[in-house]
């Protein structure tokens, strides 16, 4: 448990799997857990027995932060989850709606480029810039405008993702509630909930007033959720939309700083495709084939959710020859799968070219590459997430050349990880930009 509660549970679990095999049974506290570390067994869980494992375990953060397990990502399987999932797919994240926010993406992208331009020749904290971009983008898509409580909200979302993820000892002793109380975890989660809830309640009230006055022009996601009377999905939009995209672009840039030839190739491609246009446009993205390989390789080596989101079995079934009883927690160590030398040659190496002439994709069909999960509970935000990642990375590559600060050598750049709900770079990436192509004004 000590090892799991540390900074890199995906690594500790992979090391155990190297010794004990691709299916391990761990008795964590009073909870029976299996840990899966191969593509073959992941396929058994997420395809052959997908329905059996379509539920989620009841963990403390899902109870408090997820409005008593009513949040779509953390709610157990059943009619209620099916209804929320349908709203997600049909109303919130369908292609038409994702496209309808193109003008918001373009405006926010221009602001990101301007903000970096204003700090040119100085080291910029790229993680902070990207987080602000993704946060503002998600806030505008969801709330219709930037939140007045922007700063408070940003902090609360960050704290929420730290609390919702990771391994908390109390989660493995559900009948001993005092464990979470003594560890201070319960109080911290409650405080975070009160903060998030007060901000979200204010936003909902404002929207209700706007509805009464018939002021709805361009429907934002709160309008949609109020129309269908489900606002429990708001938190997922923020974690999915902000943290995952920010982390992916930061890791991609870090890897390219360590591999200047890859950076050069990606920059040449973006600059050729965008040509004489003032900035990157969404219509350019289809042609950025090499940059897409860089993103795929980043989602293999530095996936934001290395352990996906835990599942729970609803009835007894057989996995890899073992009988697994109902109510067993299943952790899929996707990171271990992505580092498996049986599926990937030199898995530790950052090599976008490995995806050339290779049909492997992240849509949930190829179990050696499942950064978005697979089966019934696969991430419904893939297109929105990938679009935000592609746009911001393309803009960074098009407008700027990048150097490490203080004459640092590329081999000195650290790649240390920290783990909460998502896996992020422990020390934010600081780089010095040089402007190559002037951004258009907003």
**C-alpha Rg value of the chain to the nearest Å:** 22
Whether 87 and 230 have beta carbons less than 8 Å apart is answered as yes
Binding segment (CB under 6 A) for ligand HEM, from list 3-11, 37-45, 191-199, 379-387: 379-387
- CB 69 to ligand HEM: min, Å: 12
Binding segment (CB under 6 A) for ligand HEM, from list 36-44, 146-154, 380-388, 431-439: 380-388
The partner residues of 58 in beta bridges, in order of sequence, read none
State which residue, 23 or 432, has the beta carbon closest to ligand HEM: 23
Nearest partner of 216 among 135, 143, 153, 136, judged by Cα: 143
State which residue, 160 or 371, has the beta carbon closest to ligand HEM: 371
Q: What is the DSSP string of 265-325?
A: HHHHHHHHHHTTSSS--GGGGGG-HHHHHHHHHHHHHS-S-TT-S-EE-SS-EEETTEEE-
- CB 440 to ligand HEM: min, Å: 26
Q: In this structure, what are the phi and psi dihedrals at residue 322, rounded to the nearest 5 degrees? A: -100, 140
- CB 75 to ligand HEM: min, Å: 8
Whether 45 and 55 have beta carbons less than 8 Å apart is answered as no
Binding segment (CB under 6 A) for ligand HEM, from list 35-43, 234-242, 319-327, 344-352: 234-242
Nearest partner of 168 among 304, 20, 25, 63, judged by Cα: 63
State which residue, 241 or 352, has the beta carbon closest to ligand HEM: 241
Binding mask 27-66 for ligand HEM (x = CB under 6 A): ----------------------------------------
- CB 73 to ligand HEM: min, Å: 3
Member of 17, 379, 429, 431 binding ligand HEM (CB under 6 A): 379
**Angle, nearest 10°, between helix axes 260-274 and 245-258?**
120
- CB 97 to ligand HEM: min, Å: 11
Member of 8, 42, 62, 72 binding ligand HEM (CB under 6 A): 72
Whether 425 and 298 have beta carbons less than 8 Å apart is answered as no
Q: Is 120 annotated as a binding residue?
A: no
Give how many residues touch ligand HEM by CB under 6 A: 27
Residues annotated in a binding site for heme: 379
Residues annotated in a binding site: 379
């Amino acid at each position: 448990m000590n090892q799991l509660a540390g900074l890199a549970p995906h690594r500790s679990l992979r090391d155990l799997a190297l010794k004990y095999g691709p299916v391990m049974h761990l008795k964590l506290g009073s909870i029976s857990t299996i840990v899966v570390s191969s593509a073959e067994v992941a396929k058994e869980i997420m395809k052959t027995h997908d329905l059996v494992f379509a539920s989620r375990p009841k963990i403390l953060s899902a109870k408090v932060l997820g409005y008593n397990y009513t949040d779509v990502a953390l709610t157990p399987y059943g009619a209620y989850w099916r209804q929320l999932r349908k709203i997600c797919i049909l109303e919130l994240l369908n292609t038409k709606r994702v496209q309808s926010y193109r003008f918001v993406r373009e405006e926010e992208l221009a602001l990101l480029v301007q903000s970096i331009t204003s700090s040119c020749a100085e080291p910029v904290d790229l993680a902070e810039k990207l987080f602000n971009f993704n946060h503002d983008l998600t806030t505008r898509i969801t709330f219709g405008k930037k939140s007045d409580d922007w700063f408070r909200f940003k902090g609360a979302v960050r704290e929420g993702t730290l609390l919702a993820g990771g391994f908390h000892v109390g989660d493995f002793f559900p009948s001993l509630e005092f464990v979470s109380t003594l560890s201070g975890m319960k109080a911290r989660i409650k405080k975070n909930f009160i903060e998030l809830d007060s901000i979200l309640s204010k936003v909902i009230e404002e929207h209700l007033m706007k509805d009464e006055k018939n002021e709805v022009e361009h429907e934002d996601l709160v309008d949609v959720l109020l129309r269908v009377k489900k606002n429990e999905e708001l938190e997922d939009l923020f974690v999915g939309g902000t943290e995952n995209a920010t982390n992916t672009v930061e890791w991609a840039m870090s890897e390219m700083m360590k591999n200047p030839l890859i950076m050069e190739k990606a920059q040449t491609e973006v600059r050729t495709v965008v040509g004489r246009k003032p900035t990157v446009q969404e219509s350019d993205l289809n042609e950025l084939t090499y940059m897409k390989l860089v993103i795929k390789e980043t989602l293999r080596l530095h996936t934001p959710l290395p352990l996906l989101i835990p599942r729970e079995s609803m009835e007894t079934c057989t996995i890899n020859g073992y009988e697994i009883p109902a109510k067993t927690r299943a952790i899929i160590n996707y990171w271990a799968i992505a580092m498996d030398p049986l599926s990937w040659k030199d898995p530790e190496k950052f090599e976008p070219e490995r995806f050339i002439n290779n049909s492997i994709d992240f849509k949930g069909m190829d179990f050696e590459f499942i950064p978005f999960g697979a089966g019934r509970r696969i991430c419904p935000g893939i297109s929105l997430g990938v679009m935000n990642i592609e746009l911001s990375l393309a803009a960074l590559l098009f407008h700027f050349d990048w150097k490490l600060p203080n004459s640092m050598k590329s081999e000195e750049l650290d790649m240390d990880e920290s783990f909460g709900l998502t896996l992020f770079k422990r020390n934010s990436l600081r780089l010095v930009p040089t402007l190559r192509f002037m951004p258009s004004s907003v």
